[in-house]
Amino acid sequence: MVQESEYEWVEFDNEPIKSPCGKSISMVLTVKNIENEKRNFKLKIRPEFRQNDPKVSWEIDYQGNEGDMVQMSPDDPKNIEKRLEIDKRAIREFKIRVDTPKGGSMGDSMTLNISVVSEDDVHRATFSKLIDLVPIIMAVKTNVGKEFEVAQNLVNQDKKDYEERVEINPSATREIMAIMSPYELKGYFYLETMHPDRITYIAKKMRNFKGVVNGEIRIDEISEQLTPKPAVEGLELGSFIELVKGPFKGEKARIMNIDHEKEEVTVQFIESAMLIPVKVRAEDIRVIDSGKS
């Protein structure tokens, strides 16, 4: 791969990009005329594709393009050629925008092969810009307490949607790649998909579904939430709790003992005639007031 530091007269960030489907990517090619006279440069952009469906189109716009976005695909590749006229000791920026396809698949990619040559053939440079399509992690909003219900309904609807699409397109895949619902995250869960725009469509009219949060989430931003924590973590002796599951659901009690190995707590009911301590799973309780209080 050619690095921009090898040239003093042209700059371009040719680091590979990983992008979700349906996103705009902007880039700038900077050309410097380092001579003391006006010069012309030839700019060529040639796309290469690697993708599952050769009919799926990418869109490219560029500075000086007087028409609509240029659509390109493996079935319909197009080369872009421009002539840049630059005054002596002047700098010219050439802006390029790529819109990744909404219907792309994981592993699809496009490489922009860019060449810049001065018409006097004194200066020439080549660059390659790889754009890989990758899944996006997004947040789905629900009514509080309905996270699992919505997630399960969404999976079922996704399966139904896939069964309808695969009859028309045998290479179709499921839209939902993974769902992550941390216990402590209330009113939201995380979803991984290649096509974020289709999630709202799949979930239309679904009860307790409140929409999706715009923007993508990096895995490092939520890694702590995705690591299972012991159910007894943070519990203290003497804390007042409420049973939220099991035969004693709704009963109030005080924590008398904590078994970290089995992740169980021994509780004494405070609003019941039952005086015998009872062992319950730590995940079946909700703390009302800490032991410190």
DSSP codes of every residue in the chain? ---GGG-SSEE-----EEE-TT-EEEEEEEEE--SSS-EEEEEEEEEEEE-S-TTPPEEEEETT--SSPEEEBTTB---EEEEEEE-TT-EEEEEEEEE--TT--TT-EEEEEEEEEETTSS-EEEEEEEEEE--EEEEEEE-TT-HHHHHHHHHHHHHHHHHHHHTT-TT---SEEEEE--TT--SEEEEEES-THHHHHHTTT-TTEEEE-SS---HHHHHHHHS---TTTT--TT-EEEE-SSTTTT-EEEEEEEETTTTEEEEEESSSS--S-EEEEGGGEEEEE-TT-
When pLDDT is averaged across residues 93-97 and rounded to a whole number, the result is: 95
What pLDDT is recorded for position 213? 94
Q: Considering only CA atoms, which of 72, 219, 104, 100 is closest in space to residue 173?
A: 104
CB 132 within 8 A of CB 49: no
pLDDT band at 276; cut points 50, 70, 90? confident
Task: Out of 6-10, 11-15, 118-122, 209-213, pick the least confident.
Answer: 6-10
Alpha carbon 109 to its chain's center: 16
Q: Using the predicted structure, report yes or no on whether residue 210 has a pLDDT greater than 90.
A: yes
Instruction: For 221-261, write each residue's pLDDT tens digit.
Output: 888 777 767 777 788 899 999 998 888 888 999 999 999 88
Report pTM: 0.72
When pLDDT is averaged across residues 187-213 and rounded to a whole number, the result is: 94
What pLDDT is recorded for position 2? 39
What pLDDT is recorded for position 130? 98
When pLDDT is averaged across residues 87-116 and rounded to a whole number, the result is: 95
Q: Using the predicted structure, report yes or no on whether residue 179 has a pLDDT greater than 60.
A: yes
Mean pLDDT of the chain: 90
What pLDDT is recorded for position 290? 76
What pLDDT is recorded for position 69? 87
SS3 of residue 244 by DSSP: coil
Instruction: For 155-175, write each residue's pLDDT tens digit.
Output: 999 999 999 999 988 888 999
Domains of the chain: 4-133 (2.60.40.10), 136-219 (3.30.70.940), 240-289 (2.30.30.30)
Task: Out of 5-9, 39-43, 217-221, pick the least confident.
Answer: 5-9
Instruction: For 12-51, write each residue's pLDDT tens digit.
Output: 999 999 999 999 999 999 999 999 999 999 999 999 999 9
pLDDT band at 184; cut points 50, 70, 90? confident
Q: Using the predicted structure, report yes or no on whether residue 139 has a pLDDT greater than 50.
A: yes
Instruction: For 43-81, write each residue's pLDDT tens digit.
Output: 999 999 999 889 999 999 998 887 678 999 999 999 999
Q: What percent of the chain has pLDDT over 90?
A: 70
